[in-house]
Chain A
């Protein structure tokens, strides 16, 4: 405990005033909470994945890697694994480009900024489970207003129309469109967070640098690619990493929108772990599926850590 700063180490009459006692004491409840309800459950997840645990039975036996073998053989699991990566990468690539455009617009001063900000932030600030319900109707197989608009414009529902003669596209009923819908909703949801993070970065770029570049004759694109983007790189990484964490592990969008359907075409790791582990009661295989989330998350955490360290040095 010699790590304490000398200036606090002054001996005092009361034991509570001693840093060596007080500092660990104040932090102990937080550590305890996290160890008991995050650390131990994580170890349990690992142990379950190596056992035959079910919701029904009280006893469990060690079965080695059998669950992982079973899970990997399962075509639905492989689809879920692939989907998790596709949904995350595609949506985050879209988010990054759109957020950059939006942040450059939002940094300007204009009338009604608070309203624009409030509306743009809605997908992130409102509970995602409720926002997704709005999308359910937008993508409904019969009442979708998107379909209505397409029909109105003559792109759908007439013989020879561009998108087919059916009166609806069945967004959530056709595998490719269902995947597109899930990506769209993830993009919609994460865009505000990435935008405000980038905005915080943009405001931290000293205006003199940009002004000086403009005086020297650098146009908008040159300033964007040679000054703003390089200076924003660390914070863009933060935005993307958070986006990846939230999208990769999300279950609400898929659960509410498609339940993984049609025929598992939008199943992701989180939803498949839920259906296996909770609804089917196979804790062991559910835990094995969920554990596949971990390597990706550990990678993201390591990257963040490096980033935090580097900026501390700088």
Chain B
């Protein structure tokens, strides 16, 4: 190779730039492929979310500003009229209050029951698998079936529960009417505590055994071990259950399934103590045909759920222990 044949500085620079550009292009192409793959895989969910969640919510928001009843020709835009009306509607506030009370009662009870069951079936018992299956079984029964079963079980005149009471000479109790109906409703929630149990059980099995052993060596009692080791390590699971349980409880339709009449107007036969917010929404939508007003009620509920969820996160942030390796987090 002669000196003339050596690449000049300019050529070398150009070649270097070309290599760099090629590498950049290759990196860009790789990034593009990754992006494409990401969006390709997430697009079914995104499209579904837009189509089946955002669109109906936006439509409901629009309806909430109208008097639309689904069929009549002369519905009109009323601006914030429906929202003003709900602020002055005592049934709205009463039903919201009852829904709140139901949530603060049923959620802790079902978490306690589920956690208690999880602790029990986490112990080395005989036929542990059978117990786990049996306790989880009610959770897989469809709510409609469960509602019907409870309705028959607690019927005043022909229900098995009163059959037992009368057998012992105790007068029959009108379980499905006020003031007892609320207890039957709570029972339906506790009956399905298997859901909470299975999640808590997964959390319990994640608690490192060596921590329990160390506590035992240090002389800690079972209760102290549970309180100081198990519960803190389970706290993210308990937070998850609190948030999802709260959302589910304010949206429950179980009172409707326990209602005396099964037709559209039957929504309002739900006893007063079980007439929760969603019953009011159902009644406005389907019995009274007030799509606009009912949509406003739902939007208010949506915002309230967001606020309450935010508050739960805020007030529990110091109490929830996330078992994350800090070094791994840095990497």
| Genuine A/B complex | no
Using a CB–CB cutoff of 8 Å, the interface residues on chain A facing chain B are none
